Structure 1
Amino acid sequence: MTDFNAIAAAYLDAFNATDETERKRLVADLFTADVSYIDPMADVEGHEGVNAFIAGAHQQFPGWVFTLIGPVDGHGQQARFSWGLGPEGVEPPVVGFDVVVVDGEGRIGQVLGFLDKVPAA
């Protein structure tokens, strides 16, 4: 049985990693080599694509953190969870949810992301 709570926690750890070496290790540990990541802001593949996307988020929102919002809901090989992005300790101005599909080893092979709340430019 897949522990989707642990996968969501590891996912947020990877997205919160600001040290490039640490982030690359976390991405390589969690995602399959051919991972597909699609959301309204990105359509990337592989470890390098995911790492570059996360690095870009840190450049765009320096000091902001990703947090889990609510429970993780999973069955079979897929799970969904909501997350927030914003300064630590305050209501996140960005909220979204991601659907992840894992392989038999619990590594993420596909991410389908959605944005529910985004501040006006």
Structure 2
Amino acid sequence: MSDAHELISRYIAAWNQTDPAARRAAVDGLWVEDGTYVDPLASVEGREAIDATIAAVQRQFPGFEFRLSGPVDAHHNLVRFGWHLGPAGEAESVVDGFDVAVLTEDGRLRDVHGFLDKVPAA
């Protein structure tokens, strides 16, 4: 379980990394080459596309940060966790969701499936 928590902490850190080179290095270290990320707003495959998706979210929500919203739960090759997205340093989130990650045998991300529970009003 501590390995899953450490992996997801790195995953959240990648979503918060605004330096393009450091973010790409984080993505490369987390995902397999043909990994996927899917949520209601995005469906991408490959590290380059995952990195571009993270960059797009950062442009949409400048100055915001992702935070875990509770414990990381894992069994077999699956990990689930909740998260909040909101202004850095503030308790109130603007977006809440949870993700389910499918891991490879060596503990890297193969697929991440995201769900949105709270989103800003249009």
Q: For the superposition of Structure 1 and Structure 2, which TM-score range results when normalised by the shorter chain?
A: over 0.9
Question: In the alignment, what sits opposite 1:92?
Answer: 93
Question: In the alignment, what sits opposite 1:36?
Answer: 36
- Aligned-pair identity in percent equals 48
Query: How far does residue 86 in structure 1 lie from its aligned partner after superposition?
Result: 0.6
The answer on 1:108 being equivalent to 2:109 is: yes
User: Secondary structure at the residue paired with 2:72?
Assistant: strand
Query: How far does residue 2 in structure 1 lie from its aligned partner after superposition?
Result: 7.2
TM-score, length basis structure 2: 0.96
Query: How far does residue 99 in structure 1 lie from its aligned partner after superposition?
Result: 0.2
Give the whole-Å Cα distance in 2 for the aligned partners of 1:119 and 1:60: 12
1:81/1:99 contact within 8 Å kept = yes
Give the whole-Å Cα distance in 2 for the aligned partners of 1:35 and 1:70: 25
Give the whole-Å Cα distance in 2 for the aligned partners of 1:15 and 1:59: 12
Q: Runs of 5+ in structure 2 lacking a partner? A: none
Residues matched between the structures, number: 121
Query: How far does residue 90 in structure 1 lie from its aligned partner after superposition?
Result: 2.3
- Give the 4+ runs in structure 1 shifted more than 2 A: none
The answer on 1:82 being equivalent to 2:72 is: no
Give the alignment's Cα RMSD to 1 decimal.
1.1
